[in-house]
Structure 1
Amino acid sequence: MRIPLGSALVASALLLGTAAQAQTCTNRGQLDDAYCDENKDLVADVPAKTRDPSVLVFAYTPVEDPAVYENAFRPFTEYLSKCTGKRVVYYPVQSNSAEIEAMRSGRLHVAGFSTGPVGFAVNMAGAVPFAGKGTEKGIEGYHLIVLVKASSPYQKLSDLKGKRVAHTSPSSNSGGLAPKALFPDQGLKPGEDYQILFSGGHDKSALGVNSGDYDAAPVASDVFERMVARGDLKAENFRIIYRSERFPSSGFAYAHDLKPELAEKIKQCFYDFRFPSQMVKDFEGDDRFAPITYLKDWAVVRKVAEDSGTPFNKAAYQKELAREAEAAKKKAEGAKKP
């Protein structure tokens, strides 16, 4: 294939820029080679060349059907457009890795990432977390809860040995990493005492337990509560047999290479916004975006990832990509069958 001269020059410049950064960067931590962290705040530093896009692309973690959140965030995306003076487009991502890859490639500028994937977004895509949903008291939190049907015989985690237990995805905190770190102390080892089944989402896990496809599922408490509030599920149909300590909820981040003035404007727009009544209802009482830092607010999540043997590094991320590719392949093959 012939590569146009302009494209070749751009590619060469990018490679040279990356090589130069690799030689001059004295601290990178777990960040990908494309990024540097000289000030040691664990997120990518602002590069020499920055961007000021005319259109801002915004996304939110696909913990449920993306259409649910596109509607829920519409009052904010409309405000963000007026506040920044730029058109804002909502990008409905279908998976955690798709959202991370979109920011990594430069197609996504501002996004809310689920708790676990925040770490991969920071290290693999240069995301800079700066806000979380919350109230005047600070950012919201949630618990890892394990759902079983109320009619089932399961009363504690050790009762799930050999049963059908659904995780959401390997990179999810409550739906993947935290169970590996926390369940063994309760007498249950994921991957050993039961085969891990992946549902693809917290809502899918909860619906699967309700329908009998799974015997149990670890999910984020806030997602379950939203589903009950919307009438998607009836709380009385479930029993919660485990509840963890509190974790921070989704983190909002901007791409590290945005023009600093634009990044500061986006941050201020988030902090100044107050949720209208419908958004307060949709997000269980949260009424604003509160400031966060990855260094401080995600310390407990990083510890869970390390303790579970799945740190937020390139090797773990590549495994996540491979797993999702295999799942997509099987889904496509299944769709072809008559």
Structure 2
Amino acid sequence: MEMITIPRQLLATTIVGLLSTAALQASADLSSRYSDIDGDMIADIPTDENQWTDPDTLVFAYTPVEDPAVYAEVWSDFLDHLGEVTGKEVQFFPVQSNAAQQEALRAGRVHVAGFNTGGVPMAVNCGGFRPFAMMAGDDGSFGYEMEVITYPGSGITTVEDLAGRELAFTSQTSNSGFRAPSAIIKSEFGMEAGVDFDTPFAGTHENSILGVIHKDYEAAAIANSVITRMKARGVINENDYEVIYTSATFPTTPYGTTHNLHPELQEKVQEAFFSYDWEGSPLQAEFSNNGESQFIPINYAERWEIIRTIAEANGVTYDC
């Protein structure tokens, strides 16, 4: 089996070079409902205090997973801390799909959230999402890789073997589960999704991974951070699947607030993220498997430039 690995430090040159036929400078495309006076590519907090929201209960939504109940427990201690810092009741809101999470944001049913990497530009442009943090290791390192996996004995050992076969995606807003593999496979291997290979959609990375292991799908494009956590929980084993492609490193789930949350409350939410003690926490137990041990500040315009470029390469527009 041949495994193709692109080193992390080659992110800028490899991916951007890979997408050289695309526009390399993606720009903000905020809905007309928002303003961006300071030019940071995210919605400004409204200047009109009447537009601010100050709910009694903060609703937190984590990016959709196969079993939301598991992550309700994982986040429980942090959400208690968030409640203590903000003085609010805090509710975990399980979402079943990326589309449902985006709609909940736009409808004002979610106040604090973590979105999947590829869905962040949509959340920012159409939902007024203001990302400010993501998980990282002790040394500040962060991110995950897109991998193409298959089951042992599938007869698929290289990306080229996908021709005439099947590659499962997660959802159309997912970076590693759709946009990145679509762009990379087309640019590097000359094969187009839906033309040269079939593309069923599994809904979540967990569904894609389990679908491959159970031979429901011949192969799948997934985030390796998810597969690492599933192995750590004993849901799957190393020998259940084979990796035929590994990409460069992408930024992971960012956390943020809605743009019209009361400014002082937004500050308190940020304080809660950056003051949280990971030691011995459920978050540490779950995410340390990916080497993550803290929340670090992020700059959306800078960190998500490559994700916006990949979206442009896939012809994504934001008709909010």
The TM-score with structure 2 as length reference comes to: 0.86
- Pairwise CA distance, 1:186: 2.5
- Rounded to whole Å, the distance in 1 between the matches of 2:209 and 2:230 is 9
Question: Which of the residues 220, 241, 247 maps onto 1:238?
Answer: 241
Match of 1:250 among 240, 248, 253: 253
Deviation at 1:29, TM superposition (A): 4.1
The residue number in structure 2 matching 1:98 is 100
Q: 1:19-65, CA deviations, whole angstroms, 9 ceiling, x for partnerless residues? A: xxxxxxxxx94111211112221111111221111110001000432
- The CA distance in 1 between the partners of 2:274 and 2:89, in whole Å, is 19
Provide the C-alpha distance between the structure 1 equivalents of 2:278 and 2:195, rounded to a whole number of angstroms. 44
Deviation, structure 1 residue 187: 3.9
CA distance in 2: counterparts of 1:302 and 1:42, whole angstroms: 12
For residue 165 of structure 1, give the secondary structure of its aligned residue in structure 2: coil
**Runs of 4+ residues over 6 Å off in structure 1:** none
Q: What are the within-5 Å matches in structure 2 for residues 207-226 of structure 1?
A: 207-226=210-229
Does the 8 A contact of 1:151 with 1:237 survive in 2?
no
Selected match of 1:282 from 283, 286, 293 = 286
Q: Which residue of 2 aligns with 1:198?
A: 201
Which amino acid in structure 2 is aligned with residue 110 of structure 1? V
Identity value in percent: 41
Unaligned runs of at least 5 residues, structure 1: 1-27, 318-338
SS in 1 for 2:37: coil
State the number of aligned residues.
Answer: 287
Which structure dedicates a bigger proportion of its chain to helix?
Answer: 1
What is the rounded CA distance, in whole Å, between the counterparts of 2:286 and 2:242 in structure 1? 23
Structure scoring higher RCO (CA < 8 A, sep ≥ 6) equals: 2
What is residue 160 of structure 2 aligned with on the other side?
Answer: 158
Offset from partner CA, 1:152-208 (integer Å, 9 cap, x none): 221111101111221000110000111111112134321211121101110000111
Residue in 1 that maps onto 2:10: none
Aligned-partner residue type, residue 296 of structure 2: A
Q: Equivalents in 2 of 1:280, 1:170: separation in Å?
A: 30
For the 8 Å contact 2:65–2:96, the answer to whether it is kept is: no
CA distance in 2, matches of 1:294, 1:44: 11
Does structure 1 retain, via aligned residues, the 8 Å contact 2:146–2:223? Answer: yes
Distance (Å, rounded) in 2 between the aligned partners of 1:162 and 1:46: 49
> Alignment partner for residue 116 of structure 2, among 98, 114, 117?
114
Corresponding residue for residue 299 of structure 1: 305
One-letter amino acid of the structure 1 residue matched with residue 299 of structure 2: T
Task: Indicate if the aligned counterparts of 1:127 and 1:254 stay in contact, CA closer than 8 A.
Answer: yes
**SS of alignment partner, residue 69 of structure 2:** helix
Q: For residues 255 and 230 of structure 2, what CA distance do their matches in structure 1 show? A: 22
Preserved contact between residue 135 and residue 296 of structure 2 (Cα < 8 Å): yes
More moved, 243-252 vs 32-41: 32-41
What secondary structure is seen at the aligned counterpart in 2 of 1:269? helix
C-alpha separation in 2, matches of 1:270 and 1:91: 18
Residue 21 of structure 2 corresponds to: none
Structure 1 equivalent of residue 262 of structure 2: 259
Shift of 1:74: 0.7
1:36 is matched with which residue?
Answer: 35
Q: Is the 8 A contact 1:139 1:248 kept in 2?
A: no
Amino acid at match of 1:37: D
- Whether the 8 Å CA contact 1:157–1:188 is kept in 2: the answer is no
Matches within 5 A, 1:25-64: 29-47=28-46, 48=48, 49-64=51-66
Deviation at 1:276, TM superposition (A): 3.5
Check whether the contact 1:144–1:219 (CA below 8 A) recurs between aligned residues.
yes
Q: State the Cα deviation string for residues 265-303 of structure 1 (Å, max 9, x = none).
A: 111110111224332120123222111121111111111
The answer to whether 1:141 aligns with 2:147 is no
Amino acid of the structure 1 residue aligned with 2:34: Y
The 1-side partners of 2:31 and 2:209 are apart by 34
| Deviates further, 211-220 or 146-155 | 146-155
The residue identity in structure 2 corresponding to 1:55 is: T
- Secondary structure, counterpart of 1:106 in structure 2: coil
User: How many Å separate the matches in 1 of 2:230 and 2:224?
Assistant: 10
2:179 is the alignment partner of 1:180 = no
TM-score where L is the length of structure 1? 0.82
| 1:19 counterpart residue number | none
